[in-house]
Structure 1
């Protein structure tokens, strides 16, 4: 029986209720919020395993809510929005969302994405096994706990950001193409048009630089992809 707790943040009552009904049928625990302000309150009083989030909300916007959450927690966030432009998608991923689904959507797709992200985050539970720590310069990645620290300070990565960094750390001398990283992290074929890898690598760099300003951790190998900057 699933007991993961899901927060649905959507001001359209019909859509919110549809998502809640779909998830409850699969025995997830659901809390519904109909504004950004209400979502902020719910996040302050309860713990959640994943957030389904609209962007155009009364009170606090979806973008503001993502930024607030990322300052404190590493909860998977799936954006469900009527905004369809590449610019909007890139902006939201840069802020810290894990996934982006455009409206209208199919309930089964939402459910599949929820299941995927929960598996990713819950795979190893909350145990931190010290035999799976990957270190590079002043960065430590705890694979089982899905935790990253730079100079002893934790940085909060999305699920895809964590997976990309973990792949690079496991083989510090290897150059990974964008195609290879995309296929390993997103688990499907690469068609040469998706900018997701570049966006996520950029996010990782920014988060590391917020603590380690003078050191470059990930190197771009022009025309190929990325590797750790081990010089």
Structure 2
């Protein structure tokens, strides 16, 4: 099932987009804040990102540029801005398409299908990361399965999301706060201590020697880094 991330602060529009996409067989996540939407995109599990330009937290232009720097996936801008300069700027930052509000949800679905097919045809494989490989590890993002030396490792949902986030951004140090705000929603009743707990559990499942981890390294006083 293809996965779509919608970053849109207008709840009515976001719900309309989400409902039409779900009716057409897509799995959809919605974020109303630009910063949280961008962090969600860093999970690297999405086939398409649909983003508004005027967003709280982080504007759409920045999101488009930074996603494009990391992933080769279709990015579609949906905005009330209809000046040519806005379209040129958005496409120049790496967006694949630009839809002006108001628009037909059916048209959005059609464009998403078209861009997914185009990316698959050009790349000769599925969009998104498809399979993330590091040393003996293989993460299959389409089926949410993880293998170490060919043997499947059973992870919880949060363990899987945490692993995909870190493995999609190798050699980058993330603080506990950054990881917590990306993987756990703001209304989660907990704190950053849960990050360390999940890292410990994850290491027991993926590391040959959890006490001397090969994949997820602790950067003392800062956070964690995934070693590629």
Shift of the alpha carbon at 1:86? 0.6
Q: Distance in 2 between matches of 1:77 and 1:18?
A: 18
- TM-score of the aligned structures, taking structure 1 as reference length: 0.52
Q: Aligned runs of 1:1-231 on 2, under 5 Å? A: 3-123=1-121, 124-126=124-126
Q: Provide structure 2 residue ranges, at least 5 long, that are not aligned to the other structure.
A: 128-228
- Which structure exhibits the higher relative contact order, with contacts defined as CA atoms closer than 8 Å and separated by 6 or more residues? 2
TM superposition outliers: structure 1 runs of 4+ over 4 Å = none
Give a deviation string over 1:137-183, Cα, whole Å, max 9, x none. xxxxxxxxxxxxxxxxxxxxxxxxxxxxxxxxxxxxxxxxxxxxxxx
Q: Distance in 2 between matches of 1:24 and 1:126?
A: 20
**How many residues are paired up?**
125
* Aligned CA-pair RMSD: 1.4
Q: Distance in 2 between matches of 1:94 and 1:41?
A: 22
Q: Distance in 1 between matches of 2:33 and 2:119?
A: 26
- TM-score of the aligned structures, taking structure 2 as reference length: 0.53
Shift of the alpha carbon at 1:121? 1.3
Q: CA distance change for structure 1 residues 126 and 22 in 2, over 3 Å: closer, same or farther? A: closer
